């Protein structure tokens, strides 16, 4: 894969980029990240992602060694260097090398990874995807951390039953989000999405704004026991955009017109944003 990494002020091929084995990201899983992509060769909501990246860092006690403006410049330089139709970009900040291999020493490691954007199969958007549920609550949900162990283990289970993603819930049965996406349900014509204990995704906020113009919308706690009453469901994220859900566990869901409308509205929103950028 054509992967390039910005690290220590240099842009190098992915297989040549190295960080210390003593970095807290490796020893303790301590760090934050953000993910964004281009449309028409231009990053979508780049500044919003960088702001969220900084906010995530602050939430876990890290300080960005680069200004927001510098990160924007680095991202655009990487986009130009790859010279591909569309790219994905991961912004990464770790705890850096720690003398006691536990607490950070105010020397965080910043790097960025750019690679070709690969969209999900069209059939996911046409027919919807299956998701399963698992019990897990992220410890600091407002921060986009690099702690993906529960999500990775759950995704391995999901693949064995033909599922594409995993919807997490609390021990009390309150639905939250997937490992990489926000969750929406439709019930009695109303679009409902979890209100707390989640990462407020950038795509989520856009879709909420679009939905509120034409549909009843509510942010509130959703529960496992409500799943059989859902008239539809979908996920939102940078790479999933608006992705319909056809099954939650063994419960089958239709794809109502509200979801199709939001999928089209989001596409039009992205096109308009690309023209105005």
Identify whether the C-beta of residue 183 lies closer than 8 Å to the C-beta of residue 141. no
- Rounded Cα distance, 233 and 206, in Å: 17
* Structure tokens, 85: 């139709």
Judge if 110 and 155 occupy the same domain: no
Q: What sign has the CA pseudo-torsion 42, 114, 163, 229?
A: negative
Taking only the tens place, the pLDDT of each residue in 152-178 is 999 999 999 999 999 999 999 999 999
Q: What is the mean pLDDT of the chain?
A: 96
Identify whether the C-beta of residue 189 lies closer than 8 Å to the C-beta of residue 239. no
Looking at residue 277, its pLDDT comes to: 60
Domain count, the chain: 2
Judge if 64 and 102 occupy the same domain: yes
Share of residues in the chain with pLDDT > 70 (%): 99
Arithmetic mean of pLDDT, 18-23: 96
Chain-centroid distance, C-alpha 138: 14
Owning domain of residue 141: 122-276
Judge if 109 and 83 occupy the same domain: yes
Which CATH number is 136's domain given? 3.20.10.10
Taking only the tens place, the pLDDT of each residue in 234-245 is 999 999 999 999
Looking at residue 274, its pLDDT comes to: 75
Taking only the tens place, the pLDDT of each residue in 100-119 is 999 999 999 999 999 999 99
Taking only the tens place, the pLDDT of each residue in 60-110 is 999 999 999 999 999 999 999 998 999 999 999 999 999 999 999 999 999
């Amino acid at each position: 894969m054509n992967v390039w990494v910005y690290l220590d002020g240099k842009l190098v091929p992915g297989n040549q980029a190295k960080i210390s084995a003593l970095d807290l990201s490796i020893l303790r899983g301590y760090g934050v990240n953000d993910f964004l992509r281009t449309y028409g060769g231009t990053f979508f909501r780049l500044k919003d992602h960088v702001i969220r990246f900084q906010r995530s860092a602050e939430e876990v006690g890290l300080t960005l060694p680069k200004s927001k403006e510098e990160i924007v410049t680095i991202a655009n330089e990487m986009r130009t260097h790859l010279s591909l139709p569309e790219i994905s970009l991961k912004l990464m900040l770790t705890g850096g090398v720690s003398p006691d291999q536990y607490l950070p020493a105010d020397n965080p490691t910043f790097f960025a990874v750019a690679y070709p954007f690969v969209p999900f199969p069209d059939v996911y958007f046409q027919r919807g995807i299956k998701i399963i549920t698992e019990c897990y609550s992220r410890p600091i949900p407002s921060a986009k951390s690099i702690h993906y162990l529960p999500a990775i283990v759950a995704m391995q289970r999901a693949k064995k039953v033909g599922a594409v993603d995993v919807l997490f819930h609390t021990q009390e049965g309150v639905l939250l989000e997937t490992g990489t996406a926000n969750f929406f349900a439709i019930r009695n014509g109303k679009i409902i999405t979890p209100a707390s204990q989640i990462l407020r995704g950038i795509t989520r906020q856009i879709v909420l704004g679009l939905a509120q113009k034409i549909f009843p919308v509510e942010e509130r706690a959703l529960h496992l026991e409500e799943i059989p009453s859902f008239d539809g469901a979908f996920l939102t994220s940078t790479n999933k955009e608006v992705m319909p859900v056809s099954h939650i566990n063994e419960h089958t869901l239709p794809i109502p017109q509200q979801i199709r409308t939001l999928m089209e509205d989001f596409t039009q929103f992205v096109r308009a944003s690309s023209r105005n950028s």
